[in-house]
Structure 1
Amino acid sequence: MGNINTISTQGVVLRTAGYSENDVVLTMYTRGLGKVTAIAKGAKRNRSPFTASSQLFSFSEFVLKKQRGMYRVIQADIIKSFYDISYDLDAFSYASYISRLVENSSLENQTNHRLFNMLVKTLYLLSEKGTDKEFITAAFELKFSDYMGICPVVDVCSLCGDDTGNYSIFNIEEGGMVCKRCAGNLQNNIILDVTTKKLMKYILENDIETVSRAKVNRILTKELSKLMKKYMTAYMSNLNLKSLNILYDLNHYKKGAD
């Protein structure tokens, strides 16, 4: 673009923070730069060209300029606002969770194109009615762990490499599935439905969009979701479950009220 300090890239807003009366600081995950922080001058003003692109979860084409160690938004063209997510408590909670997951686990200026594509596709899925949002979030976590290099072993025993497939025992400390022989020497084994093991392998081998079309019953979804929360908590020191805990508490309250 004629300026070495200027770059055009797609990006998703992960977090917003007021900077002054009219300015907003955006934490974004971008295709071209990875995670970056950028200031959108005047984004709070009426009729600002940056207002729509400065909203949480918004997906836009940004032109950013590096100034004094920080990026500044000099142009923003909205691709998808995902504004409807804010009207659905479940969608908002899960979208907030995966956004924080990406934010807290990504280094500044470190790109991951697979993660960027999955983030955008998952926001699209969460914004659609009829999506099993808990299942999609659990699938996101599993694929995310793969992209971060902490993927659980799901197709062989994580200790001896046995690949007979005649077991469905998971051990978080050992990083995945274990065979019955190895499981006998371990504590805290988790017995899974054999279909959950197959489901995990299917998720890892397919795109999140393809995965979303799978018909998965509630029991398997709950088992996978519970397992992934335990696994992510063990392998990610900065995991933030606040938005999900609020959602679970509210859903539990509603059930009690009914």
Structure 2
Amino acid sequence: MGTEKITGIVLKEKEHGESSKQIFVLAKQVGKICLFAKGARKPKSKLLAATQPFCYSDFLVFQGRGFHSITQGESIETFYEMRTDMDRFLYGSYLLELVERTSQEGMEQDDVLELLLRTLWQIAKRKDNPRLCSVIFGLKFLQYSGWMPDMECCAVCGAKVSEVSYFSALAGGAVCTTHSESGSPISKGAIKAMEYVFHNSGQAIYRFRLSQEVLEELEQLVDASLQIHMNVKLKSKEFLDEPFF
């Protein structure tokens, strides 16, 4: 037992009692951690701002037997802009849910934390297309999770593929024309975008634009790969995929 300082982003909040809540934070050198915030839902609580979803905050945490309780909290970046635009809010919520649902408590994920902060910054501060940013995040997140599709050999038979025309999310890479029924057609634009994201890092991965057609193609590829390889289906993504959105 003791007190420690934790810095991280709030992924999710859950009501606890009449005025308190639990928050799930992706923290530096810690990974996902559940923190108890006593009285944080009160309008005048000193913990109110720092414990909101999207907030990147410093927390002073008391570690008890089987629980972590916040004694102090100060927001570093609130990403307030995520709450002022419906598109930004919905795609941002999708990113938070994806990370929260796929992260294991106590497993350090500083690469994912940095990726999440950079992506939210691009959406909130630079006003980049949130849909494109979410696709870029999804590709890089899959890479950090160990998914790296083979674009040179057929993922079904292993034969050399001279020109990629088909891709299988299930098999995890390009497929040859002989096994084209195992995959779906993929455009050169989608291949170039995917390879660019995989072979770059930092802010550079956001420095390109896609046609609407290629963006939709990559979005479907990312969604399928997340469901297959990460075994995750998200409520926020289902909402984004509704016809009226």
Q: TM-score, normalised by structure 2?
A: 0.91
| Mapping for residues 140-155 of structure 1, pairs under 5 Å | 140-155=137-152
Question: CA separation in 2, counterparts of 1:111 and 1:25?
Answer: 20
**Displacement of 1:218:** 1.6
Paired residue type of 1:153: D
Q: Indicate if the aligned counterparts of 1:171 and 1:178 stay in contact, CA closer than 8 A.
A: yes
Q: 1:91 deviation in Å?
A: 1.4
CA RMSD of aligned residues (A): 2.0
* CA pair 84-130 structure 1, distance change in 2 beyond 3 A: closer
Tell me by how many angstroms 1:198 deviates: 1.5
State the secondary structure of the residue aligned to 1:50: coil
Match of 1:245 in 2: 238
Matches within 5 A, 1:87-236: 87-128=84-125, 130-159=127-156, 165-180=162-177, 184-185=178-179, 187-207=181-201, 209-236=203-230
Does structure 2 retain, via aligned residues, the 8 Å contact 1:9–1:62?
yes
Q: 1:39 is aligned with what amino acid?
A: F
Q: Give the secondary-structure state (helix, strand or coil) at the position aligned to 1:54.
A: coil
Structure 1 runs not aligned, ≥5 long: none
Residue 67 of structure 1 aligns to which amino acid in structure 2?
G
Answer whether contact 1:82 1:123 (CA < 8 A) is retained. Answer: yes
Task: State whether residues 40 and 73 of structure 1, in contact with CA within 8 Å, keep that contact through their aligned partners in structure 2.
Answer: yes
CA contact (8 A) 1:61 1:76 kept: yes
Letter in 1 for 2:44: R
The normalised TM-score by structure 1 is 0.87
1: distance between equivalents of 2:151 and 2:218? 12
Q: What amino acid sits opposite 2:244 in the alignment?
A: Y
User: What are the superposed Cα offsets for residues 182-241 of structure 1, whole Å, 9 maximum, x if unpaired?
Assistant: xx135332111112111101111122521212122222111101111122122222321x
Q: Name the % identity.
A: 27
Q: 1-side partners of 2:77 and 2:176: how far apart?
A: 46
Pair 165,40 (structure 1): closer, same or farther in 2 beyond 3 Å: farther
Query: Does structure 1 conserve the Cα–Cα contact (< 8 Å) formed by 2:11 and 2:54?
Result: yes
Question: One-letter code of the match for 1:245?
Answer: E
- 2: CA distance, partners of 1:93 / 1:48: 27
Please list every run of at least 4 consecutive aligned residues from structure 1 whose deviation after the TM superposition is greater than 4 angstroms.
159-165
Note the residue ranges of structure 2 that are not aligned, 5 or more in a row: none
* Residues 1:8 and 1:230: Cα distance change in structure 2 (over 3 Å): same
How far apart are residue 84 of structure 1 and its match?
Answer: 2.2
Contact 1:140/1:208 (CA < 8 Å) preserved in 2?
Answer: no
Listed one character per residue, the Cα deviations across residues 30-63 of structure 1 (whole Å, up to 9, x for unaligned) are 1121001001112122332211011111111122
Give the aligned partner of residue 62 of structure 1: 59
